[in-house]
Structure 1
Amino acid sequence: MGKSTRNQKKDRLQANHEAEETYSAVPHTLVFHRGQVGKNVGQLIIDIRKVMEPYTAVSLKVRKKNVLKDFVAIAGPLGVTHFNIFSKTPTSINMRVARLPKGPMLHFQVTKYCLIKDVVSSLKKHRMHEEQFKYHPLLILNNFGQDGMHIKLMATMFQNMFPSINVHKISLNTIKRCVLLSYNSESEEIEFRHYSLKVVPVGVSRGVKKLMQERFPDMNKFEDISELLMKGANLSESEAEQDEEHNVTELPQVYSGRGNMASQQSAVRLTEIGPRMTLRLMKIQEGMGEGNVIYHSMISKTEEEIQEILKRKEAKIKEKEERRKKQEQNIAQKTEKKEEHRKKSLEGIKKKRAEAEEDSEVEDPGAQDGQGADAESDDEAEYYRQAVGEEPEEGDCSSFT
């Protein structure tokens, strides 16, 4: 019994260790806003966090005094790899996607968006439950294989925001949602969609499906139970239209849901659960929004103009470095002058002390009481304050006694 307990503890620790390693190896994203964004954009941020679950901070609180450096500082210890930053101007809604810690940062304009509540309310029957958000969504990129550095960079950025999958090891039961990003080369816009995924067996009537779901169907219209199993007239038109060649596949594994067996034909159905966005790439910038602009959708520069901009930036950096060196030299000179002034003041105090001792020896040789010494010490301290402009340190005046 004791051996079994030890083995259980060992297995539990090993499982926890593997879970921590797996969790730290996947990308994590923080979704937040900068500035005033309003109620609707604030709800959009909450919906995007829902999409990025479970590898995001769902209840992240942002204060007005927080700056971008604050988020960068906590990103490392928390294992955060990406930022998704929303902001709003009088004319547009913007979204920035940044790769930590050194960039790049992609600037998007949100031309259209629709919240989860709006998408769900437009459906006759939605399919969204908390169990779906225990696993990350499957990313699908459409039409990103075109030429262009900015298109490839967008595709790489989006791919790295979501955990990669191993098709040979993944369990199909962990795939409950998918995110579709479709690029339109003519309008240069990206359509963002979020779907719930469901798998159902193909060619089964509604009555049989009810039996699979442990719901007894209404058989008033049937003369014999064989009609429930043999006739396909009870299959609804909507189900018949959805299950076609484009969404029917053979399952390699057993999938959750009655009738979804391995090596059997099943249909994959998608239901949009929102949010949805239409994005337009505006520019790509090196670093965390402070580096060179390597792509701009509205401004194109020749090679000579780019070199001229780089030269101006290098000149500014060089000028800033020279100012810093000159400032350090000025500080060093001031410190040296201050030390020389202090030494001269101490020499003056010492000289005055010596003269005072000579005068006291002439007037009253061999007789100095404690009160006289204290008075002279006070005079020296006052002289030090006037000469140096600082309070005397312990030993500066008493050392001459």
Structure 2
Amino acid sequence: MPPKKQKHKKRKNKPKKNWDEPEEIKRAPHSIVVFRGNVGKYIETLMKDFRRVMEPNTASSLKATEKNSIKDFVAIAGPLHVTHLVMFSRSELSPFLRICRLPHGPTLTFKILEYSLSKDVVSIQKRQNTYDKQYLTHPLVVLNNFAGEELKLKLMTSMFQNMFPSINVAKVKLNTIRRCVLLHYYPEDGSVEFRHYSIKAVPVGVSKAIKKLVSSNVPNLGKLNDISEFIEKSGQFSESEAEDDPVSNVTLPQNLAGRGSKAGAKSAVRMIELGPRIRMELIKIEEGILDGEVLYHQFIQKTEEEKKIIRQRRETRRKNEEKVRKIQEAQRKKKEEVKEKHREKSMEGMKRKQDKEALGKFAENEEEAAEDDDAEYYRSEVGQEPEKDLFTARAKSAKSSLSGPAAKRAKIEKKKMEKNSKGKSGEKRSAKDPGDSRRKNFKSGRSPKSTGKPNSKIGFKGASKVQRKR
């Protein structure tokens, strides 16, 4: 026997859960990282690496298309608590990085001088230290050499600090600190270096062999006779495993995830680079989102008069846009009013139609009841069954009667038919019959008008008939 078909159970819609985020997460900075235009595969990969740096408070799986404009990202910034918009672009000269503070600006534009992707940075390391759990918490941000009273330094410092959540030193848990973002400013050429590291604590105060055993990477002891040989032998270690710098040694106030990292123990802090690397310089600072007044430009300097003219143009454009917006709003309201009136009119027509149908059904029921009464009266008076079409013909004629516009059109057509029929009958009467004209002419003694000569045959026959009558 063929196997029975399994019946698929209908999936019931489960009630939606309440996904409200805690207030602490809502207040934390959130970012959107996208690229604009045709940037190539390397800049697109750099954009994905930068998203990885900004996790977990970023849209990791966002798929932006060419149809998405800047207004779309600004529109969703409020409901999603997005505070920063990072855009990568490329021109004929070089790639650019723009950082916008949502929703009102300012916007910082950087020219990317050099960059290295995360896969290239990790591939040159002898011991790679990358795992997914270190991206579950936000990184620390370290700014170096940004002290100064210049406008660009203040704005850069404020922008970079506000891109990442702040920490409370008294309440922070060391297990949540797994990454670090380093930003270094070079005053010689005005460039900024961007680096991304993983933080790791290693126990100190023990021999290198014991450190090897304590760590997760257990060495190969197959060629040794005893473990004492491994502990006493020191020539198998590389130069990079020398003693840590005393400056990096700290006493842990809390337990850390890892072997040997206990509270109160002395450990050395190590930083392992994750990538990407970016070397960039600030080009422009402007108010708003890519359309405001230019506050700083590295290459172009404008006079006060030029700035005044630009402000006037921007104000005129803003007023024109406001005017167009008001006109569009008025037109939209007018269309809605017309649509509402049309809807009300349609509802009234539908209501009248329903009432008319209800009256028609009522009349049919009354006619059927009257027909039954006539048939019953006929049986009682005559004592016989009435014929089939005796009472139904009247009902049919009543049912077929028209009303409303259809009745008017039927009356007009009926009048036209009657008029046409009268006109045709009058024409037939006015048409001259040859026999009648001959008889009239004979009685009067004249010849027919159709012939100018007297008809001897008609006259002879008529005379004989008259004589016979006499």
TM-score by length of 1: 0.71
Helix, strand or coil at the partner of 1:77: coil
2:67 corresponds in structure 1 to: 65
- For 2:199, which of 193, 197, 204 is the aligned residue? 197
Offset of residue 77 of structure 1: 1.4
Q: Where does 1:34-53 land on structure 2 (aligned, <5 Å)?
A: 34-53=36-55
Q: Where does 1:33-182 land on structure 2 (aligned, <5 Å)?
A: 33-182=35-184
Kept in 1: contact 2:221–2:227 (CA 8 A): no
Residues 138-169 of structure 1 show CA distances to partners (whole Å, capped at 9, x for unaligned) of 10101111220111101101111101001110
The letter of the residue matching 2:63 is K
The letter of the residue matching 2:281 is R
Figure out how many residues of one structure are paired with residues of the other and give that number: 318
Helix, strand or coil at the partner of 1:97: strand
CA RMSD of aligned residues (A): 3.2
1:206/1:321 Cα in 2 relative to 1: closer, same or farther (>3 Å)?
Answer: closer
Offset of residue 228 of structure 1: 3.6
Percent of aligned pairs sharing the same letter: 47
Helix, strand or coil at the partner of 1:78: coil
1:379 corresponds in structure 2 to: none
The letter of the residue matching 1:131 is K
2:286 corresponds in structure 1 to: 285
1:67/1:17 Cα in 2 relative to 1: closer, same or farther (>3 Å)?
Answer: closer
Unmatched segments (≥5 aa) in structure 1:
1-15, 332-368, 376-401
Offset of residue 236 of structure 1: 5.2
d(CA) in 1 for partners of 2:173 and 2:252? 12
Kept in 2: contact 1:205–1:232 (CA 8 A): no
Offset of residue 23 of structure 1: 1.7
TM-score by length of 2: 0.61
1:366 corresponds in structure 2 to: none
2:255 corresponds in structure 1 to: 254
d(CA) in 2 for partners of 1:318 and 1:228? 80
Q: Where does 1:311-326 land on structure 2 (aligned, <5 Å)?
A: 311-314=312-315, 317=318
d(CA) in 1 for partners of 2:20 and 2:268? 34
d(CA) in 1 for partners of 2:47 and 2:227? 55
The letter of the residue matching 2:279 is T
Helix, strand or coil at the partner of 1:56: coil
Residues 23-44 of structure 1 show CA distances to partners (whole Å, capped at 9, x for unaligned) of 2121111100111111111111
Kept in 2: contact 1:183–1:189 (CA 8 A): yes
* Higher mean displacement: 204-213 or 158-167: 204-213
Offset of residue 234 of structure 1: 7.6
Offset of residue 114 of structure 1: 0.5
Helix, strand or coil at the partner of 2:240: helix
Offset of residue 233 of structure 1: 7.9
Offset of residue 54 of structure 1: 0.7
Kept in 2: contact 1:205–1:235 (CA 8 A): no
Unmatched segments (≥5 aa) in structure 2:
1-17, 332-406, 414-470
Offset of residue 373 of structure 1: 11
Q: Where does 1:256-271 land on structure 2 (aligned, <5 Å)?
A: 256-271=257-272
The letter of the residue matching 2:55 is E
d(CA) in 1 for partners of 2:141 and 2:220? 38
